[in-house]
Amino acid sequence: MSTALPAAFDPEWYLATYPDVALTGMDPVEHYQRFGRMLGRQPSADAPRSRPVLPHLQPDTATAKPVTPATASAAPELAIPRPSRPGPIIDRPAGFNAAASIPGTLLSNVTERTKPLTLAHLADTPQAESATPAALNTYAKLFGLPAPAKSSARASGNLTGFEPFQTGALRIESLWYETTGTLRLRIAGGEDSAAWVLSAFQAVPDSPDVLHPAGESLVLPAEGPALWDIALVHPMMPVLVQATGPDGMVQATALLAFPSLLPGGLHGAEGKALQRTSNPMDSLWSLTEMLVREKLGKTGANAPSLAGIRVSLRGATGAEPIFAAPTLDWLDTLFGLSVTPIDDAEDALTQGEAALRDLLGERAPARPQGDAGLILTLPGDGLPTLSALVSRRLDNDLPENSAAPYLVAEDANLRPRWMVSPAVGPTSDPSQPSIGTPGLAASATEAAALPVPVAVLFRPRNPPHPTRLLLPVAPDALAQDTKPSKIGPLLVVLTAHDPARMEELLRSVQTMAQADFVVRLAGVDKAALRASLNRILGNGGWRETGLETDLRSLAGEGDTELLLTLDDRVVLYDPQTLVSLKALIDRTPDTASASCLLLAERVVKKAAVLSPAVGGLFPARVSFATSPSLGFHEPDTFQPLPSADYAVVANALPLSLWRRDVLAALPTPDGPVPDHAADIHLGLDALDAGYRHLCSSKIRAGYLGEYVRRDEIDPVGTQYLRPALWEAIFRRVTVLRELF
């Protein structure tokens, strides 16, 4: 739908005339573009009275049949007491009558529109010679129903019958979820299809052979484009779209097998991530065709790869899409899959989690899990992708709980946000999906990366309440008498700028670790810094080193197990931070370094606003345009990885805990390494040596001042310009790709 702003738009008049706009806090321009135009509001005092931009018919008065009013009696106007202020918060557009259907022409020679039809009945409708029954037959196969029509000799091989809707006057130019229950199409229209009628049909899962008319039919105008709303009876079931000529003969039928792939649908992120052509509609049709072929086994003789879906109930509330009755019914009817909880009956679940377990348990006996095949394990905010549901080619030798790529969409509006490809290998992180054959342990040989994302996770756009952002686990959740633990011995390489900040940081580190300090004096007033250090640590209790001194050589001089790089802009407000980082390093012997999510704080209108600053370095881009180049960046990791331990290319130096001997053994660089790339260089060298780096958003620390996220191309010069190395890097780190 066009969001063009009329040239005469008067924001002040608009605000004064529609007082609810100010209540929303939105800019009047944005409000008009998003809501006001659709509601039929005036853009200015002088603008001509507009009609709501709702799809309606533009009958050709010369040829249109007489309108037959709907036979149902109109609902009486219901009297709702109104508040004293004039008008509701969101007013009805003029002439909006919610009791009646959207004005349209109901053609008397079409089957009575309110009654459902069977698939056979639909197939029996007279078909033009050009029409093929492919879509209807495919629909039947999807649900294991008898084929309603014989395949014609003209069958094109296209299972979903979309070709007539790809070109010419019937071309569907755009298709999206206008609401979660309405699809909106923009159709090219034209002379060739003038007075043709478009109809849509959809079934509910418990009776897939009974097709309900999905909203009103549309009589195509002589001149397009035309907008048409399909009022769904189910948010995800396949939709049949049929074009009928003025003579009542069906000209074409298409099957929208997986409408949730559309923008605004539950799988919209998958549609976006797998888009292969520049035209989204062409991409949708070809993706749908491919998925249908896979589903029907046209691509090989294997059984469906996925044998079951399990979900973690921890933290789940039941408001997540995976627990919605329409989703569960759809999974059961279309894929023969039920969802079972991974939590044992003996696990201590909350009342809400236990109720979900009961809900899933009531459904499970109806369709037991398959014996052979992969099991997909999801967090509560996840939903399987269509690619995973239909695939017959996933590796059945995947070990249990293998990490798998997934997508992230916004929970409120389903907008695609991220594709996350975790490091290949096993995962025990319940916040991320995993897949594998139950009971199959990881083998010595490296597993192959999964070719498709297996789940969509629905996450809020904004970070949580500041207290929860600051402390993902409340400190009073620990035993009251638990004293913060100390780690050590630890060599701390501190970069100091400000004496007061440095003193405070030193005191907090001393409560957390037995530490020796090597200090790089980066601040202007070095004398003041030295005086502070002497006061806190005592003369001789610390050592000064130059800013250029390489970390590798500093590490080589020490004899502690661990080395901490620290900047005095860091605030360690959680006394458990260093203990938690050490636990992260100790998890596997090949972990070279560990760090955590840093939160930055800025003041906006006298209020402190906390936001995620940095959570590790990631691969950003690969280019072969001039010479091969590899880029790295520090994205906002909070939405894709809000509570996870994940592998990164490198941990940022302001706060990173290292195995000292690993750092000491890294090769010395051939030449000077710029400061802004020092951590990337160390990170890549350690990856090259077979180690990995972990970052955790479950552990948090603060950063005073503004953290400028880096976006670096070839930060370490030509050393890593060997593309053969990149595959090894990408397999062992998390790759984040933005989908917006």
Partner 1 sequence: MRIVVIIPNAEWQSTAGVRIRYERIRPWIEAEGHSFTLQPIDEAMAASERAGDIYLISKCHDVRSQLLTRQLRAEGCAVGIDFFDDYYSQKQDAAFMHLRAWFRMMTAQVDFGLCSTPNMRDRLARLVPDLPLLVMNDPAIGWDDTALAEGLRAVAQRTRASKVLDIGWFGIGDNPYFSLGLEDLHAFSGQLLQIRARGYQPRLRILTNRRALDTRRLEMIARLPVPSLVEEWSEEAETALIADSLFCFLPVNGQEFSTVKSLNRAVSVLAGGSQVLSTGFPLYDTLAPFIYRDLGELLDHLDADTLRVRPQTLPDLGALMEQIGSAQVEAKRLTAFLETLPRPRPHDWPGQKPVIVLQGSRPQGEIHKQVQRQGYLSAASPRTTAKLAFDLSARSDPDGRFVDVVLRDRSVSRLAENWRGRVAKVSPPAGGDPAPTLRLTQDDLPGLRPMLRVSAPRRELEEQSRYRPDMALMAEIITLIFDRPHLFLSEANSPYWSPEIEAQRSDRAHV
Binding part of the chain for partner 1, among 94-102, 149-157, 289-297, 444-452 by CB under 8 A, reads 94-102
Contact set for partner 1, span 719-738 (CB under 8 A): none
Q: Which of 619, 629, 626 is nearest to 717 (CA)?
A: 629
Mark residues 229-268: x for contact with partner 1 by CB under 8 A, - for none: --xxxxx----------------------------x----
Pairing of strands 570-571, 645-648: unpaired
Among 144, 366, 465, 626, binds partner 1 (CB under 8 A): 465
Q: Which of 212, 582, 692, 693 binds partner 1 (CB under 8 A)?
A: 212
Helix, strand and coil in the chain, % to nearest 5: 25, 25, 50
* φ, ψ dihedrals at 14, nearest 5°: -60, -45
Nearer to partner 1, 301 or 608 (CB): 608
Side chain identity, residue 404:
A
What's the min distance (Å) between Cβ of 145 and partner 1? 18
Q: Smallest distance, Å, CB 510 to partner 1?
A: 10
In the region spanning residues 418 to 457, those forming contacts with partner 1, defined by CB under 8 A, are none
* Residue with smaller CB distance to partner 1, 274 or 571: 571
Alpha-carbon distances of 40 from 4, 49, 91, 180, rounded to whole Å: 14, 8, 10, 22
- Rounded least distance, CB 611 to partner 1, Å: 12
Q: How far apart are CA 43 and CA 37, in angstroms?
A: 8
Under the binding rule (CB under 8 A), the answer on residue 671 touching partner 1 is: no
Shortest gap between Cβ of 237 and partner 1 (angstroms)? 10
Quick check: 75 binds partner 1 (CB under 8 A)? yes
C-alpha–C-alpha distance, residues 612 and 232, integer Å: 40
Among 59, 93, 116, 297, binds partner 1 (CB under 8 A): 116
> Using CB under 8 A, which of the segments 399-407, 439-447, 461-469, 673-681 binds partner 1?
461-469
Minimum distance from residue 461 beta carbon to partner 1 (Å)? 8
Q: Report the residue from 606, 625, 670, 671 that binds partner 1 according to the rule CB under 8 A.
A: 606
Whole-Å CA distances, 328 to 182, 321, 334, 336, 661: 20, 9, 10, 10, 52
**Burial status of residue 498 (CB atoms within 10 A of its CB: 0-12, 13-18, 19 or more):** buried
By CB under 8 A, name the one of 16, 22, 45, 90 that touches partner 1.
90
d(CA 442, CA 363): 32
List the interface residues with partner 1, window 326-355 (CB under 8 A).
326-327, 350-353, 355
Which residue, 394 or 600, is less far from partner 1 as judged by CB?
600
What is the full DSSP assignment across 404-449? --EEEEETTT--EEEEEEPPSSB---TTS-EEE-TTPPPPSSPPPP
- Is residue 316 a contact residue for partner 1 (CB under 8 A)? yes
Site size toward partner 1, by CB under 8 A: 89
Residue-wise burial string across 595-632, b where 16 or more C-beta atoms lie within 10 A, e elsewhere: bbbbbbbeeeeeeeebebbbbbbbbbeeeeeeeeebeb
Q: Which residue has the tokens 């940095």?
A: 614
* Torsion-angle region of 655 (φ positive above 0: left; ψ -120 to 50: alpha; else: beta): beta
467 binds partner 1 (CB under 8 A): yes
Residue 622 interacting with partner 1 (CB under 8 A):
no
User: CB-wise, 161 or 265, nearer to partner 1?
Assistant: 265
**Segment 269-308, which members bind partner 1 (CB under 8 A)?**
none
Residue ranges in 117-136 that form contacts with partner 1 under rule CB under 8 A: none
DSSP class of residue 168 equals G
